[in-house]
Structure 1
């Protein structure tokens, strides 16, 4: 190999810090996008990163004279510094939003629902305007600039140190793995906006390490000066919040009372508007009593809950007059479980209905802090009430580990649309609403216990709840499933109740009296099955395949393998959307935005990566060995993303809070892949192809073992303590991580006798990774995670064929 550059320790540590900063920037984007725009836009982060890295590799491949290898360290230092500058400019955007909030509103108003308070400032059209495509492209390119800078530095160093690529690639992956863990601590300590400056500082530190020893002192002094400015700016924002986001649910909130960040959310509290208080979801139209003072609490951009001023005697009837209290009315003195109670409405309803004990399982510690600490005088320290037990945990994991039985299990409009932890277009996966979850709830109900879940009836979600209930009851061998189901609504909010034993005549009579007195609407009652509504037809069919085929939306019961409760588009209809039909039966702005993002990302990848390569490198396409080489690196990028995203979702329920799955799974895969890259260095020169022909079949077989074995193993270990589950997850992922880290450095050595074509292969790998991030999500949404993993196995099979096809010259 014509590569005489020596890899020193400073370069290794510089690579570590730069890759650490790059991954942290990617993850902080998921947090900030979730706060400012629809949660779907957090999904852009991974493709932004990969697109920037791939475009950088393309630049070096097409203009190598601009990046002479002998000056590689100095050029890497420059682009690392520009990475820090680009990230700092992103911070400046929030300073601009703070100084000119109208500008921020103009940029953000499109991304918010127009019909519900407090979204009414947004545009009213449900379809996505054509003018949105250029805007998305501009947003994509501007935000990708730091990734482009980082990609130039990384690609140049990998090319320059091809002889030591195993070692350098190891530092690359170790830095990325460290970034997965570091971003959790940084977000918890300083919040999302100040974290941007921390990331910029890491980029500057990498630039300082890359600078050659004989570099002028002025350059090092300049880096230290900029670092001092960033430190001062970060301390200033931490203390004074001069760049903190003052937007909540799409509008500027100058009166925001408090906001806080943790590793997976931003929680903001602000005064509720009068109309919001008077139109509380589920409140009886016949209620004429006092309305408690309220504070709005928003989680990221769209998760909404309410803090109520507590006065049990004065507002007791207010909470009893809500449709979600019906289960407690049937079970006075209940031992209740409230999943995701947020600001405490579910708990207040249970206490007003004389529940003996309430276990409140809240995922977000910031919400618990707001209720019990920040606004303790306002809320009456609700979660410290002697009848209330607060558990900060993910609801499903708590239920799986609990041995207690409950008379009522309540989940009122629990919002599961968190930013996707995989960085893919997951479109609101939620493990609280799956067949397996209903099975867990059933096991924790007392003999006459009731599962009560409220959803907005106009979103068709309640129909899917019914389908889940029917599937569960069929599994349990219940002869008359309809006798166990009741659906009652108060205007837009429907309360779905599934009772472990059949509803009695007395209970149904009581519910009718309550509905009459409260002016609720009876959607389905077991003693009135002759209706012609969608609910009656669905229940009468007992969830038959014929009903689901004829229904225009996909309301089939979802499983843990495909936990997309909110996604109700049939696969063929999603494909039809790609043709941009004039009219679509699914005018959901989130789905249409996803479609547009898919088009934008695919178009940018093709135009900026693949088309120039085909045009400017046409001769190389005809060179022997080029086609299998490109196919091989394309398969590595696509296959790795499919397996990574599929595995990440497998561990979500097992590890509880999504941030743990993100940190543990990515950390384990990246760190052990880095170690695998080091181990691959033991393969002698000229033996790389033989090694790959053994390694790839082992990777394929091991992946198939994971597909078959992981689900039952993870289920059996779910009752173990969290720390032990995290350790076991790392142990389980270690063998696969080790093997996943070997094919790329071995392929770089096997397919590249000289460094000249390394950037091209790296660019192809990054380009297919961009597509893989989106394709994995679309595949998972429509067909499930098992098929996604199997698709990854199939892609690696193609990669194996490419190695077999390749014949070195």
Structure 2
């Protein structure tokens, strides 16, 4: 096939459609997190896989439908289809707003039974048969934009294979830009209004792909469609006619306020009567007034409450909560509250005599709601002279401080907030690790108390005790159990770890307060004879034998394996098929991840492998075909394993999780694009000679990052944020450049006749999406260091494919 020049308009078209595709995938994770229990946000990954895979498969099986000479026109049509599909998605939310009962029928299956929309008692665990066609149609409609963008990219790669280094670099540059741009889109217009805005990029790509003498009518059509999309965006911002009116699985027509940022949607609504009575941790002996409350929800399930400020009138309400115990034990002092939300913990501290409270909040929208939008209701809680508000990520900010507090508190901080980057950046996990306990310990006063509240009916409180025991043993404490107390009331347990052992007078004071308020003792230092799991754990000292015998994994979490809420043992993950009927609802996250992994694997088999085995059997018999597919499968899988493993290394360093997403993904994609651009300058015939040392260096460097980055980043943590972002990008530059070489060089080496490009590209994309889920599974069970190691091993397998003596027969 003759060489075809790659013009600048085509490059910009590739940039734009790749940018739009990545923005759509990221905005889907946000929208799913608001509409459904957040674990379904990962469904965006399977949707992307389905759309890209079907597109690549179609080009492979029906190449005659897409003549090479019509590539520009076909890509323009695909980009227009992308924009039209996004417009259809927007129309779905208009339908949800006009017909909320329809939305209920679709969404109710995805919520826990005690937060069902419209009604109570919807406990059907299965999917109603009549709903299956609707869910299938919604899945296809949601995947359609990925199909069109994947089709455009596949057609371009097939046509311009000889310039693939340059073309692939524009693909990566566009995806990198999308990582940054989606942050601005979410901040400016939110999730739903962002759909027509992203569709505008699809129209821009359609214009760029048009042949230069393109029809005037087509250009007018694109201009008209752009005006419609702008009108939809502006109109929805002005009237909210497609706005999401669901909170905690309920349709909420009386929504008082809602706003989006790059990693959440926060909504405020009137608290219902039953919610006012669900005062977790409130003494059952309390008979005073109940403060007027407003519910505030982050995405779908991250719930907190704002309280009407009435001076001293209702302060006894907060003194009577189990979370106030550490202040009452000490008699005041200074406090640091991590994740104060609507302000309950801050009010409890002030009501119990705290001199000054630092409120460390991750989400600026929550602070905005308390201090600006509802300032008349809350009395400007975070503006008080005895309250200091800090908006930052907890661990990162604490590490940079040189001061101490008498009480450091984290009461039921949202543990299941939606992931900022799909499925792998749960920032709250960083709050509950051995390393985090060291950070808190170093910032406690000599007689300070670390107080963490969790729901007693969940297993997390046991893990907190396990963490406390292990940490104190690391500190060389002779009797760790003497530093730990757990008191509960109304489902909420307060875990307290003291820097000095609890004295006899302090234990007596805790018992006196608990008796007066009818709190229940779970664990105190002077009683260790109970037969419940808490006392057995303490008596064992948290040794390996106890953890091995306990049915769930409550072993201490670390920064390398920070999944505090994941409590299945590694050997049990693949046996979860037997668990659903026995599991609590909070375990559904793991079941969904397991099921999603299976679904994506099956989609890969059904949508790519099986059709090729049926219709491309002759091609499979050609020498080297299997090794060629194996090589590109390794690249897709290895890239995601390394990317996710590296992203976790930078979360603490950069602070806000969204910075880790933006900076790390942007740096890896852009520098990989630079590597692909340099690969395009490699002389013909030199691909194999360069790939061998390059892959070896890539593997060695990636493992060096795994072991060398943590101490380096810890040492530089006090730098300003801008310097840390710049440094993170520079640190990733060498590995990013190397990651950009293998795919374009492999395409040139293994596809000299331009045949079966779509096949290899589809396999690479499918295993890449599969790798994003597999990386989470590996990290959850064995840690991020092993995730990076697994990524390096997969690239070694790709190296072995190139080293094979039969590799010359690939083409």
Q: TM-score if structure 2 supplies the norm length?
A: 0.97
Partner in structure 1 of residue 311 of structure 2: 312
**2:445 equivalent to 1:439:** no
Once residues 797 and 136 of structure 1 are traced to their aligned partners in structure 2, the CA distance between those partners, rounded to angstroms, is 41
Q: Deviations over 1:442-501 (max 9, x none)?
A: 111111100000000111110000011011100001111111000000021000000000
Root-mean-square deviation (CA, aligned residues, Å) is 1.8
For residue 52 of structure 1, report the CA deviation from its aligned partner: 1.7
For residue 129 of structure 1, report the CA deviation from its aligned partner: 8.4
Partner in structure 1 of residue 625 of structure 2: 626
Once residues 369 and 384 of structure 2 are traced to their aligned partners in structure 1, the CA distance between those partners, rounded to angstroms, is 15
Partner in structure 1 of residue 240 of structure 2: 241
Once residues 423 and 131 of structure 1 are traced to their aligned partners in structure 2, the CA distance between those partners, rounded to angstroms, is 30
Q: Deviations over 1:51-79 (max 9, x none)?
A: 32222111101110001111000000001
Once residues 524 and 662 of structure 1 are traced to their aligned partners in structure 2, the CA distance between those partners, rounded to angstroms, is 40
8 Å contact from structure 1 (residues 425, 594) kept in 2: no
Partner in structure 1 of residue 767 of structure 2: 768
Partner in structure 1 of residue 455 of structure 2: 456
Between 140-149 and 623-632, the greater mean CA deviation after superposition: 140-149
Partner in structure 2 of residue 197 of structure 1: 196
Between 413-422 and 724-733, the greater mean CA deviation after superposition: 413-422
**2:584 equivalent to 1:570:** no
SS in 2 for 1:193: helix
Partner in structure 2 of residue 666 of structure 1: 665
For residue 770 of structure 1, report the CA deviation from its aligned partner: 2.2
8 Å contact from structure 1 (residues 309, 380) kept in 2: yes
Once residues 721 and 380 of structure 2 are traced to their aligned partners in structure 1, the CA distance between those partners, rounded to angstroms, is 27
Partner in structure 2 of residue 730 of structure 1: 729
Partner in structure 2 of residue 616 of structure 1: 615
Once residues 575 and 127 of structure 2 are traced to their aligned partners in structure 1, the CA distance between those partners, rounded to angstroms, is 16
SS in 2 for 1:557: coil
Partner in structure 1 of residue 605 of structure 2: 606
Once residues 808 and 134 of structure 2 are traced to their aligned partners in structure 1, the CA distance between those partners, rounded to angstroms, is 46
Partner in structure 1 of residue 323 of structure 2: 324
For residue 559 of structure 1, report the CA deviation from its aligned partner: 0.6
Once residues 460 and 425 of structure 2 are traced to their aligned partners in structure 1, the CA distance between those partners, rounded to angstroms, is 17
Aligned residue pairs: how many?
Answer: 807
For residue 399 of structure 1, report the CA deviation from its aligned partner: 1.1
SS in 2 for 1:487: strand
Partner in structure 2 of residue 807 of structure 1: 808
Once residues 776 and 766 of structure 1 are traced to their aligned partners in structure 2, the CA distance between those partners, rounded to angstroms, is 15
SS in 2 for 1:755: coil
Once residues 563 and 486 of structure 1 are traced to their aligned partners in structure 2, the CA distance between those partners, rounded to angstroms, is 23
For residue 121 of structure 1, report the CA deviation from its aligned partner: 3.6
Partner in structure 2 of residue 141 of structure 1: 140
Q: TM-score if structure 1 supplies the norm length?
A: 0.97
8 Å contact from structure 1 (residues 133, 596) kept in 2: no
Q: Deviations over 1:158-190 (max 9, x none)?
A: 111112111111111111101000011111111
Give the 5 Å matches for 1:397-416: 397-416=396-415
Give the 5 Å matches for 1:726-765: 726-765=725-764
For residue 123 of structure 1, report the CA deviation from its aligned partner: 2.9
Partner in structure 2 of residue 487 of structure 1: 486
Distance verdict in 2 for CA 1:521–1:656, change over 3 Å: same
8 Å contact from structure 2 (residues 425, 648) kept in 1: no
Partner in structure 2 of residue 345 of structure 1: 344
Q: Deviations over 1:549-570 (max 9, x none)?
A: 1111111111111111111111
Q: Deviations over 1:199-235 (max 9, x none)?
A: 0011011001101012211111111111111111110
Distance verdict in 2 for CA 1:764–1:116, change over 3 Å: closer
Partner in structure 1 of residue 155 of structure 2: 156
Partner in structure 2 of residue 517 of structure 1: 516
8 Å contact from structure 2 (residues 118, 251) kept in 1: no
Once residues 778 and 421 of structure 2 are traced to their aligned partners in structure 1, the CA distance between those partners, rounded to angstroms, is 14
Give the 5 Å matches for 1:366-385: 366-385=365-384
For residue 424 of structure 1, report the CA deviation from its aligned partner: 3.3
For residue 95 of structure 1, report the CA deviation from its aligned partner: 0.5
Once residues 541 and 582 of structure 1 are traced to their aligned partners in structure 2, the CA distance between those partners, rounded to angstroms, is 31
Between 150-159 and 713-722, the greater mean CA deviation after superposition: 713-722
Once residues 766 and 373 of structure 1 are traced to their aligned partners in structure 2, the CA distance between those partners, rounded to angstroms, is 45
Distance verdict in 2 for CA 1:414–1:495, change over 3 Å: same
Once residues 553 and 129 of structure 2 are traced to their aligned partners in structure 1, the CA distance between those partners, rounded to angstroms, is 27
Once residues 356 and 389 of structure 2 are traced to their aligned partners in structure 1, the CA distance between those partners, rounded to angstroms, is 11
Partner in structure 1 of residue 796 of structure 2: 797
Once residues 582 and 460 of structure 1 are traced to their aligned partners in structure 2, the CA distance between those partners, rounded to angstroms, is 17
Partner in structure 2 of residue 703 of structure 1: 702
Once residues 514 and 117 of structure 2 are traced to their aligned partners in structure 1, the CA distance between those partners, rounded to angstroms, is 29
**2:592 equivalent to 1:593:** yes
For residue 673 of structure 1, report the CA deviation from its aligned partner: 0.5
Once residues 284 and 3 of structure 1 are traced to their aligned partners in structure 2, the CA distance between those partners, rounded to angstroms, is 81
8 Å contact from structure 1 (residues 128, 589) kept in 2: no
Distance verdict in 2 for CA 1:499–1:662, change over 3 Å: same
Partner in structure 1 of residue 68 of structure 2: 69
Partner in structure 1 of residue 362 of structure 2: 363
Partner in structure 2 of residue 251 of structure 1: 250
Distance verdict in 2 for CA 1:86–1:517, change over 3 Å: same
Give the 5 Å matches for 1:650-661: 650-661=649-660
Once residues 697 and 492 of structure 1 are traced to their aligned partners in structure 2, the CA distance between those partners, rounded to angstroms, is 54
Partner in structure 1 of residue 334 of structure 2: 335
For residue 719 of structure 1, report the CA deviation from its aligned partner: 1.8
Once residues 761 and 776 of structure 2 are traced to their aligned partners in structure 1, the CA distance between those partners, rounded to angstroms, is 23
Q: Deviations over 1:240-261 (max 9, x none)?
A: 1111100001010000000001
SS in 2 for 1:153: helix
Once residues 484 and 117 of structure 2 are traced to their aligned partners in structure 1, the CA distance between those partners, rounded to angstroms, is 33
8 Å contact from structure 1 (residues 117, 276) kept in 2: no
Distance verdict in 2 for CA 1:441–1:120, change over 3 Å: farther
8 Å contact from structure 2 (residues 106, 131) kept in 1: no
Once residues 495 and 752 of structure 2 are traced to their aligned partners in structure 1, the CA distance between those partners, rounded to angstroms, is 65
Structure 2 unmatched runs, 5+: none
Q: Deviations over 1:649-699 (max 9, x none)?
A: 111111111111000000000000001111111210011111111210010
Once residues 175 and 746 of structure 1 are traced to their aligned partners in structure 2, the CA distance between those partners, rounded to angstroms, is 20
Between 584-593 and 65-74, the greater mean CA deviation after superposition: 584-593
8 Å contact from structure 1 (residues 3, 161) kept in 2: no
**2:84 equivalent to 1:101:** no
Distance verdict in 2 for CA 1:346–1:676, change over 3 Å: same
Partner in structure 2 of residue 643 of structure 1: 642
Give the 5 Å matches for 1:149-188: 149-188=148-187
For residue 137 of structure 1, report the CA deviation from its aligned partner: 5.8
Q: Deviations over 1:769-789 (max 9, x none)?
A: 121111111111111111111
Distance verdict in 2 for CA 1:392–1:379, change over 3 Å: same
Q: Deviations over 1:626-654 (max 9, x none)?
A: 12211100100000011111111111111
**2:556 equivalent to 1:557:** yes
Once residues 394 and 133 of structure 1 are traced to their aligned partners in structure 2, the CA distance between those partners, rounded to angstroms, is 41
Partner in structure 1 of residue 39 of structure 2: 40
Once residues 214 and 163 of structure 1 are traced to their aligned partners in structure 2, the CA distance between those partners, rounded to angstroms, is 25
For residue 120 of structure 1, report the CA deviation from its aligned partner: 6.5
For residue 136 of structure 1, report the CA deviation from its aligned partner: 6.5
Structure 1 unmatched runs, 5+: none
SS in 2 for 1:260: strand
